[in-house]
Chain A
Amino acid sequence: MSVLSRIAAAASVLGALSGPALAEADPERGEALYRPCAACHMIGEGAIHRIGPHLNGIMGRGIGMVEGYRFSEIFEEAAAAGEVWTEMALDGFIANPGGYLPGTAMVFRGIRGADDRADLIAFLIQEGGSSEAPAAAGEDTGPSPEVAAILEFEGDVAYGQFLSSECTACHIGQGGDDIPSIRGLTPTVFIAGMVAYRSGERQHQVMNTLAARLGDEEIAALAAYFLSENH
């Protein structure tokens, strides 16, 4: 079965079983559920791409079809095939991102509750509008100064390999349902993620503790190692 027919099949099953009851959904609850998403995605007036693309006008938009964001291969495939973010597609993706679009760079394990997903989708529509009437995006001024400074470093691959052994105690090489795989991230996404954990902007007890002692040089070394071909 091709990846895209899997998407379609997953979407139809999910739709049949647990189509989001958007009419009854509560965007206020959705706002609380959006909090972990906000570590990577902006939404609303002036939103720009960050680690993930901004979500303005996502409902009805083509999958992988927002300008100025470099998507993973699976999103490019979906875009080429003309796949669209419908309620069902969003519901399926949010339920299990890695299962729905295998190979997605989105490091998030999904939301299990159908009502929670419906509330979250309602919030996405309320804040970001639809593809026909999206909230106005802002002007992307590139990575934050902190991330840009680390991107400037020439990462020490050998040092990165040593440091990466701290990651592999918990992160598996391929797949990983319960702790996501961190392979194949772009340097910008990886660095922005580590910076967000280091500052506490993105919350996770283990990651905050580990990232707190990573200097810019260490983050650059890790990024260089994870990008190199010998891992």
Chain B
Amino acid sequence: MSINRRTFLSTAAAVSATLATPMIARAQSMPRVVVVGGGAGGATAAKYIARDSNGAIDVTLIEPTRSYYTCFFSNLYIGGFYEFDDLGHTYGNLASSYGINVVHDWATGVDRDAKTVSLAGGGSVPYDRLVLSPGIDFVEDSVPGWSLAAQGKMPHAYKGGTQAQLLKAQVAAMPEGGTFAMVAPPNPYRCPPGPYERISMVAHMLKNTNPTAKILLVDPKESFSKQGLFEDGWQRHYPGMITRIGPDFGGDIVEVDPDAMTVSIDGVVENVDVCNVIPAQQAGLIAQAADITDGNWAPVSAYDMSSKIDPEIHVLGDSAAQGAMPKSGFSANSQAKVCANAVIAALTDARAFPPRYANTCWSLIETDDGVKVGATYEASDEGIVSTSSFISEVGETPETRAETYRESLGWYDAIVEDMFG
């Protein structure tokens, strides 16, 4: 509805000045920012640009879903630690409190010369600055035998929402003593500890309901995020349940057959009951459509997250090739704030401040056994570089681990308030 109204208003204003209300005249003279993608990067950027420009910038947020389900914490939902409904958020407050035009549609293309974004529902939205924060899409054929058409049988569950529900339901329906398989993605991908937290959450679920079940983790990577912490936790909480097959045993030579429910690892075929395929990833398709990618990702300046190919487009979060920051919701939120400051400074007389970034990723291994890794970052000509970092240690007290878990709950509440509140 808002796009129809909006398209109507801008068209009407252009065609006939007599129809124009003062509102429209103001909107026309204001610089326009269009944000594509209402996740941790896009929602934060839209809110901060609208809020901190004190209404001096006209902000449009294009996001297909009316209820946005965060991908972060979807593992905790799978493990039974979080309610699905609590992962859902809406955009009403961004519209009412900050005057953001929220358009529920798919952005299908970017005309960089005309500076417009075209929409699946028809029409286009003009911009002075464009912020793309579309998350990830999957690289086709990265896991032979799997395609998006197979996601009903072998879910990726790596974009939150109904896929996470499907995976949880499949795990719950596993036969006694059955096998859960995961095909983990190659680097770089969204949420580096995510696949391994998921393994932990599935193990937690099976330990309680199906303790003779097995978990097969097929991994093309030599090593992974928080590996020591996860492996220590798996040994303590789920002894004998999880087998990881790394590239030394063919974990990088995988094929799946969704109809037969088999996974072939270096030619050895395994029958499995659930198969969670997390394919190789690339920038969201709109970044490809805008032709600002180099390889799978969109290279950006570390100073303001602007595209190295088109400086009037900023790319946030998972889609950006920015340097050392992991692809995470926390990173996207942090990058959005630097971008917002830069965009406001470029379009108004507000001041620009030196960029600074931070990230923390919490993971839950078992009830009250939380771990975290984090770092601060700064901009350089070579990209975003880490200035300082920390990670939980093996052998921490149960109190510390419980504290870390509770901290993650506090973070979730705060970041969704930061995005939508």
The answer to whether A and B assemble together is yes
Task: List residues of A whose CB falls within 8 A of some B CB.
Answer: 109, 158-159, 161-163, 165-166, 168-173, 176-179, 205-206, 208-210, 212-213
Q: A162-B353, A205-B374 are in contact. List 11 more A-B contacts (CB 8 A).
A: A109-B406, A159-B351, A166-B337, A168-B414, A170-B407, A170-B414, A171-B414, A176-B413, A177-B410, A178-B410, A213-B387
Closest residue of B by beta carbon distance from A180: B410
Instruction: Name B337's closest neighbour in chain A (CB-CB).
Output: A165
Contact A209 B390 (CB under 8 A): yes
Q: How far is the CB of A124 from chain B (nearest CB, A)?
A: 20
Q: Which residues of A contact B390 (CB under 8 A)?
A: 205-206, 208-209
Interface residues in B354-402 by Cβ distance below 8 A to A read 356, 358, 360, 372, 374-376, 387-390, 392
Min CB–CB distance B398 → chain A (angstroms) = 11
Q: Is the CB of A209 within 8 A of B414?
A: no
Chain A: CB-nearest residue to B351: A158
Separation of A178 and B372 alpha carbons in the complex (Å): 15
Question: Is B111 at the interface (CB under 8 A from chain A)?
Answer: no
Of all chain A residues, which has the CB nearest B353?
A162
Q: Is the CB of A161 within 8 A of B52?
A: yes
Among B334, B372, B376, B406, residue most surrounded by chain A Cβ atoms (within 10 Å)? B376
- Shortest distance between the CB of B375 and any CB in chain A (Å): 7
Q: Which residue of B lies closest to A204 (CB)?
A: B407
C-alpha gap A179/B415 in the complex (Å): 12
Residue B417 interfacial (CB < 8 Å) = yes
A226 → B minimal CB distance (Å): 15
Chain A contact residues: over half helix, strand or loop, or mixed?
loop
Residues of B within 8 A of A161 (CB): 52
Which residues of B pack against A, CB within 8 Å? 48, 52, 330, 333-334, 337, 341, 350-351, 353, 356, 358, 360, 372, 374-376, 387-390, 392, 406-411, 413-415, 417-418, 421
- Residues in chain B near residue A159, CB distance under 8 A: 351, 353
Q: With A162-B353, A165-B48 in contact, do A206 and B372 touch (Cβ < 8 Å)?
A: yes
Q: Is the CB of B376 within 8 A of A172?
A: no
Chain B residues positioned under 8 Å from A109 (CB to CB): 406
Chain A CB within 10 A, most for which of B52, B408, B415, B417? B417
A230 to chain B, nearest CB (A): 10
Query: Which residues of B lie under 8 Å from residue A210 when comparing CB positions?
Result: 358, 376
With A178-B406, A205-B374 already in contact, the answer to whether A169 and B52 are too (CB < 8 A) is no
Q: Which of B375, B411, B415 contacts A209 (CB 8 A)?
A: B375
From the candidates B356, B409, B418, name the one contacting A168 in the complex (CB within 8 A): B418
Task: Return B44 CB to nearest CB of chain A, in Å.
Answer: 9
Residues of A within 8 A of B375 (CB): 209
Cβ B421 vs Cβ A173 within 8 A: yes
Bound: A169/B417 CA distance, A: 9
List B contacts of A163 (CB < 8 A).
353, 356
Residues of B within 8 A of A169 (CB): 330, 333-334, 358, 411, 414-415, 418
Q: Which of the listed residues A158, A173, A206, A213 has the most CB atoms from chain B within 10 Å of its own CB?
A: A206
Which one, A158, A162, A176, A205, contacts B414 given CB within 8 A?
A176
Q: With CB as the reference atom, state the residue of chain A lying closest to B389.
A: A209
Instruction: Please give, as numbers and ranges, the residues of chain A lying within 8 Å of B407 by CB-CB distance.
Output: 170, 178-179, 206
Alpha-carbon distance between A206 and B414 when the two chains are bound, in angstroms: 15
A158 vs B374: C-alpha distance in the bound complex, in angstroms? 27
Q: Which residue of B lies closest to A212 (CB)?
A: B388
The closest CB in chain A to the CB of B411 belongs to A170
Contact A179–B52 (Cβ < 8 Å): no
From A162, A166, A172, A173, B410 is in contact (CB under 8 Å) with A172
Residues of B within 8 A of A168 (CB): 414, 417-418
- Top-7 shortest CB links A-B: A179-B410, A178-B410, A165-B337, A205-B390, A178-B406, A172-B414, A162-B353
